[in-house]
Amino acid sequence: MIVLIGFMGAGKTTVGRGLAARLEVPFLDSDEVLEAREGRSIAEVFATDGEATFRRLEREMIASLLDGPETVLAVGGGAVEDAATRSLLRNHTVVHLEASLDDVAARIGDDESRPVLAMPGIAERYRGRLPLYADVADVVVPTANRRPEEVVADVLAALDRIR
């Protein structure tokens, strides 16, 4: 299983789709699967049940997807905040798509489907997650100022080096 991690707006979905096409495996996004299974949006889960419940649902979802057939799996940018999720990820090939806070902020604007953006302390969250991404990543690929196809090629080259 190849798992893409990184902050919101780092390019996990776009790069994940391209990577999955090149590797000829399905692409899955843990957020999309969670929304489909819950029958409600992530914004609704945050608003009704709060972030702690979202992190638990996210962990359960990631655990079940990691148990399934081989895919390229993009996980939500905050999944690494949960220690048990980090442990699950350690058993797989994890790619950190890295972008600066300025880059991701420019890409995502004020997207209302991402409740964490509306919470205070986004810069602290960004900084707090960097060591967590580093903790679980097998490879780190920068995405700033690069086209998705270039990032996909970089990821494939990096995977070749470690495999």
Q: Give me the residues that bind ligand S3P (CB under 6 A), please.
A: 8, 12, 31, 42, 76-78, 114-116
In the complex, the smallest distance separating the C-beta of residue 76 from ligand S3P, rounded to whole angstroms, is 2
Report d(CA 86, CA 78) in Å as an integer.
11
In the complex, the smallest distance separating the C-beta of residue 72 from ligand S3P, rounded to whole angstroms, is 14
Q: Which residue, 1 or 4, is less far from ligand S3P as judged by CB?
A: 4
In the complex, the smallest distance separating the C-beta of residue 161 from ligand S3P, rounded to whole angstroms, is 26
Q: Which residue, 148 or 162, is less far from ligand S3P as judged by CB?
A: 148
C-alpha 102 chain-centroid distance: 18
Q: How far is CA 87 from CA 10, 65, 67, 131, 152, in A?
A: 22, 14, 14, 14, 26
In the complex, the smallest distance separating the C-beta of residue 9 from ligand S3P, rounded to whole angstroms, is 7
Residues near 126 by Cβ (< 8 Å), separated by ≥ 6? 7, 101, 104
Q: Which residue, 24 or 133, is less far from ligand S3P as judged by CB?
A: 133
On whether the CB atoms of residues 7 and 104 are closer than 8 A, the answer is yes
